[in-house]
């Protein structure tokens, strides 16, 4: 899949050589500076608070979180769906864009994949945090037992268990397979104990034609398996709502709606992670304006699609003439949670519109601010589905307002710390830019000029 150098995706004046790539990537791996440790400490501290809050909640009971009748789900499930959504960009880039041979993916996909794995690992915590008796959460798994106690395979929650564990496994496999040749490169540049460690992790990769041929086939097949998976995972997660009776949940719209939103927020997160890395690691040669532009465009498109789905939601509520649906939408837009509703619209449907301007698409501060707003907006999208949706459903007797508590808020902040501690750790021990794939899109070394 080498490209004629003329169409090389990296459009910098002095295009780096293959040796430069090894150098530029490998130097990011190794002993970090004090600034890095300072950040790590901050993140670790936050994580500790989150863990403590969770311990407290397990001790006194789920009542420590602000849940109530009818909002028996609230911020935990919101954040769960949020992280699952973030986890979509990675596999999307490495699978779908791979199949479409979109060259600009090469310099961001490694970071995106790492983000995916860690985001899913974060999301995976929330079902546990949320369960009233988390110590029995393993009952959702179909493990053999002499009493024939099995999970209820008709329950969307069990679908979740399968979808998410599959997604995590496949993402991790994909991630590791991609890493192997790069670790081999690390190994060959390292010395001493480091060399030994990398030698083991690289599985003794040598890049012989024998290895490459199976590797490339398998990689292609993995990509084609992962593609339907990406689309299915968030569809299945959306079934948690679509399969329920609650007005505003019970809708066939949800699968595509959630998938689009996931890609939307995923790319925002990629930008949030990549822009600092580009600056700190001085990777301007590899993550060029072209890449930013491409991602901005994707965010713009997904945002427009999302706005379409939003209008569908409102339209169907009105057109169905269903009293409950109408009341639910009306309450969301006008009652105690209206602020969240309109915040969602302005973040997800309005702010990304700036990307219609070419300049904005490559203007780093703009990109950064919009990405953050998009993440906020997408968190509140899930919040608006769950909390106000439940708060104004069929039965007026129980309508009411949910209030967050210190406990659940701390746990949720802690989940972000958990994600970042994993990611920060990763970028210091592994190549967060794919050596092999970046080389692939560089001009190949030819003796007799380019024909």
Considering the rule CB under 8 A, would residue 177 count as an interface residue with another protein?
yes
**Cα-based torsion angle of the residue sequence 182, 185, 187, 191 in order, rounded to the nearest 10 degrees:** -140
Considering the rule CB under 8 A, would residue 19 count as an interface residue with another protein?
yes
For residues 13 and 145, which CB has a smaller minimum distance to another protein in the complex? 145
Q: H-type helices in 321-442, by residue range? A: 323-334, 338-345, 358-362, 364-391, 406-429, 435-441
Smallest distance, Å, CB 217 to another protein?
A: 4
Considering the rule CB under 8 A, would residue 221 count as an interface residue with another protein?
yes
Q: How many residues bind another protein (CB under 8 A)?
A: 113
CB atoms within 10 A of CB 42: 12
Q: Using CA atoms, how far apart are residues 93 and 136, in angstroms rounded to an integer?
A: 36
For another protein, what does the binding mask look like between residues 35 and 74, x meaning CB under 8 A? Answer: ---------------------x--xxxxxx--xxxx-xx-
Q: Applying CB under 8 A, which part among 83-91, 152-160, 282-290, 355-363 lies near another protein?
A: 152-160
* Binder among 12, 41, 45, 204 for another protein (CB under 8 A): 204
Q: Mind giving me the DSSP string for 106-136?
A: TTTHHHHHHHHHHHHHHHHHHHHHH-TTGGG
Q: Are 350 and 401 in contact (CB under 8 A)?
A: no
Q: Using CA atoms, how far apart are residues 134 and 150, in angstroms rounded to an integer?
A: 17
Q: Mind giving me the DSSP string for 178-193?
A: HHHHHHHHHHHH--HH
Q: Half-sphere exposure of residue 141, counting CA atoms within 13 Å on the CB side?
A: 12
For residues 113 and 420, which CB has a smaller minimum distance to another protein in the complex? 113
For another protein, the binding residues in 282-311 under the rule CB under 8 A are none
For residues 72 and 301, which CB has a smaller minimum distance to another protein in the complex? 72
Smallest distance, Å, CB 225 to another protein?
A: 5
CB atoms within 10 A of CB 73: 21
What 8-state DSSP symbol labels residue 162? H
* Binder among 130, 234, 291, 361 for another protein (CB under 8 A): 130
Considering the rule CB under 8 A, would residue 329 count as an interface residue with another protein?
no
Question: Mapping DSSP to helix (H, G, I), strand (E, B) and coil, where does residue 190 land?
Answer: coil
* Binder among 51, 173, 333, 340 for another protein (CB under 8 A): 173
Considering the rule CB under 8 A, would residue 323 count as an interface residue with another protein?
yes
Q: Applying CB under 8 A, which part among 78-86, 131-139, 281-289, 411-419 lies near another protein?
A: 131-139
Q: Half-sphere exposure of residue 226, counting CA atoms within 13 Å on the CB side?
A: 30
Considering the rule CB under 8 A, would residue 170 count as an interface residue with another protein?
yes
* Binder among 281, 309, 368, 399 for another protein (CB under 8 A): 399
Considering the rule CB under 8 A, would residue 155 count as an interface residue with another protein?
yes
* Binder among 15, 349, 398, 409 for another protein (CB under 8 A): 398
* Binder among 7, 13, 145, 208 for another protein (CB under 8 A): 208
Burial class (CB in 10 A: 0-12, 13-18, 19+), 353: middle
Smallest distance, Å, CB 423 to another protein?
A: 23
Q: Using CA atoms, how far apart are residues 173 and 160, in angstroms rounded to an integer?
A: 20
Burial class (CB in 10 A: 0-12, 13-18, 19+), 195: middle
Q: Where are the beta strands (DSSP E) in 33-180?
A: none
Q: Applying CB under 8 A, which part among 160-168, 262-270, 275-283, 420-428 lies near another protein?
A: 160-168
* Binder among 394, 413, 422, 424 for another protein (CB under 8 A): 394
Q: Using CA atoms, how far apart are residues 160 and 168, in angstroms rounded to an integer?
A: 12
Which of 348, 331, 340 lies closest to 248, judged by CA?
Answer: 331
Considering the rule CB under 8 A, would residue 210 count as an interface residue with another protein?
yes
CB atoms within 10 A of CB 220: 13
Lookup: tokens for 134: 């988390």
* Dihedral sign (CA 379, 380, 385, 391): positive
* Binder among 157, 197, 421, 424 for another protein (CB under 8 A): 157
For residues 32 and 256, which CB has a smaller minimum distance to another protein in the complex? 256
For residues 5 and 425, which CB has a smaller minimum distance to another protein in the complex? 5
For another protein, the binding residues in 416-445 under the rule CB under 8 A are 435-437, 439-440, 444-445
Q: Applying CB under 8 A, which part among 222-230, 275-283, 300-308, 337-345 lies near another protein?
A: 222-230
* Binder among 42, 218, 369, 406 for another protein (CB under 8 A): 218
Q: Applying CB under 8 A, which part among 30-38, 301-309, 389-397, 419-427 lies near another protein?
A: 389-397
* Binder among 36, 39, 102, 166 for another protein (CB under 8 A): 166
Q: Applying CB under 8 A, which part among 109-117, 133-141, 375-383, 412-420 lies near another protein?
A: 133-141
* Dihedral sign (CA 325, 328, 334, 339): negative
For residues 114 and 370, which CB has a smaller minimum distance to another protein in the complex? 114
């Amino acid at each position: 899949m080498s490209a004629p150098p003329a169409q090389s995706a990296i459009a910098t004046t002095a295009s780096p050589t293959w040796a430069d790539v090894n150098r530029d990537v490998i130097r990011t791996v190794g002993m970090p500076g004090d600034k890095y440790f300072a950040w790590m400490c901050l993140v670790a501290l936050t994580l500790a608070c989150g863990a403590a809050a969770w311990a407290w909640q397990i001790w006194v009971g789920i009542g420590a979180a602000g849940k109530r009748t009818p909002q028996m789900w609230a911020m935990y499930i919101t954040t769960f769906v949020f992280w699952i959504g973030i986890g979509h960009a990675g596999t999307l880039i490495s699978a779908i864009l791979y199949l479409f041979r979109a060259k600009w993916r090469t310099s961001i996909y490694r970071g995106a994949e790492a983000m995916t794995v860690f985001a899913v690992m974060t999301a995976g915590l929330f079902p546990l945090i949320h369960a009233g008796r988390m110590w029995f959460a393993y009952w959702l798994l179909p493990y053999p037992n002499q009493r024939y106690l099995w999970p209820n395979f008709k329950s969307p929650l069990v679908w979740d268990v399968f979808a998410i564990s599959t997604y995590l496994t496949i993402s991790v496999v994909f991630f590791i397979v991609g890493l192997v040749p790069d670790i081999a490169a690390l190994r060959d540049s390292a010395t001493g104990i480091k060399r030994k460690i990398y030698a083991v992790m690289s599985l003794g990769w040598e890049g012989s034609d024998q290895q490459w041929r199976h590797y490339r086939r398998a990689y292609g097949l993995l990509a084609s398996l992962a593609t339907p998976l990406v689309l299915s995972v968030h569809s299945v997660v959306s079934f948690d709502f679509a399969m329920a009776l609650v007005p505003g949940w019970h809708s066939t719209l949800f699968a595509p709606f959630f998938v689009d939103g996931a890609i939307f927020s995923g790319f925002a997160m990629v930008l949030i992670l990549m822009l600092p890395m580009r600056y700190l690691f001085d990777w301007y040669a590899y993550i060029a304006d072209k890449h930013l532009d491409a991602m901005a465009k994707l965010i713009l498109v997904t945002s427009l699609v999302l706005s379409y789905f939003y209008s569908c939601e409102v339209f169907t509520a009105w057109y169905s003439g269903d009293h409950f649906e109408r009341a639910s939408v009306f309450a969301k837009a006008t009652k105690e949670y209206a602020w969240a509703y309109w915040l969602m619209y302005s973040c997800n449907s309005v702010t990304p519109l700036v990307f219609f301007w070419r300049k904005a698409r490559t203007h780093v501060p703009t990109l950064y601010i919009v990405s953050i707003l998009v993440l906020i907006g997408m968190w509140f999208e899930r919040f608006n589905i769950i909390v106000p949706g439940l708060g104004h459903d069929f039965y007026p007797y129980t309508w009411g307002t949910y209030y967050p508590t210190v406990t659940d808020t701390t746990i949720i902040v802690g989940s972000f710390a958990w994600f970042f501690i994993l990611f920060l750790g990763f970028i210091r021990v592994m190549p967060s830019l794919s050596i092999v794939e970046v080389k692939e899109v560089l001009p190949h070394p030819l003796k007799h000029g380019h024909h």
